[in-house]
C-alpha cells in the first residue's frame, strides 16, 4: 500500500518571534509534523533568495518564512526585506515555469 504524500517543508524562522514561539510550543510539549524542518535565522530579513532556491533544489516541496509582525521587527525592516525577497523568488519560479502556490501569498 502506498504511503500518502507528505511534503517536505523548510521553515526559516527568525530568532526573536517565530523560533521563540516554536521553542515555547516544544516546552509545553506541543508537536509539529516531522516533515517540517525549522532553520533558525537571526532575522527573516537575512534569508537570501539563494537559500530559498537551494532548499527547493535539495528537495523541499515548500518553504515557509516566519518573522516578526510587520512594523515590529527587532531589526526594524527585516520582515519587509523578507517579504520583498520572497516575492522576488516567487517571480523567478514563475519565469522558470514553476507555478508557486498562490494561496500562501502575504498581502
Please give the Cα distance from 95 to 21 (Å, whole number). 35
Q: Which residue has the cell 537575512?
A: 46
CB–CB of 69/17 below 8 Å?
Answer: yes
For position 2, what pLDDT does the model report? 81
For position 59, what pLDDT does the model report? 92
For position 63, what pLDDT does the model report? 92
For position 107, what pLDDT does the model report? 41
Q: Where are the domains of the chain?
A: 1-39+47-64+81-99
pLDDT per residue, tens digit, the chain (107 aa), is 688 888 999 999 999 888 888 777 777 888 778 899 999 999 999 999 999 999 999 999 999 999 988 888 888 889 899 999 999 999 998 988 887 665 444 44
Grid cell locating 40? 533558525
Amino acid at each position: 500500500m502506498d504511503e500518502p504524500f507528505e511534503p517536505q517543508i523548510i521553515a526559516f524562522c527568525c530568532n526573536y518571534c517565530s523560533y521563540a514561539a516554536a521553542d515555547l510550543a516544544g516546552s509545553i510539549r506541543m508537536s509539529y509534523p516531522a516533515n517540517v524542518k525549522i532553520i533558525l535565522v537571526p532575522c527573516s530579513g537575512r534569508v537570501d533568495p539563494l537559500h530559498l532556491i537551494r532548499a527547493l533544489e535539495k528537495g523541499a516541496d515548500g518553504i515557509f518564512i516566519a518573522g516578526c509582525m510587520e512594523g515590529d521587527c527587532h531589526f526594524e525592516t527585516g520582515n519587509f526585506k523578507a517579504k520583498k525577497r520572497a516575492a522576488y523568488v516567487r517571480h523567478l519560479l514563475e519565469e522558470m515555469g514553476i507555478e508557486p502556490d498562490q494561496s500562501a501569498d502575504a498581502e
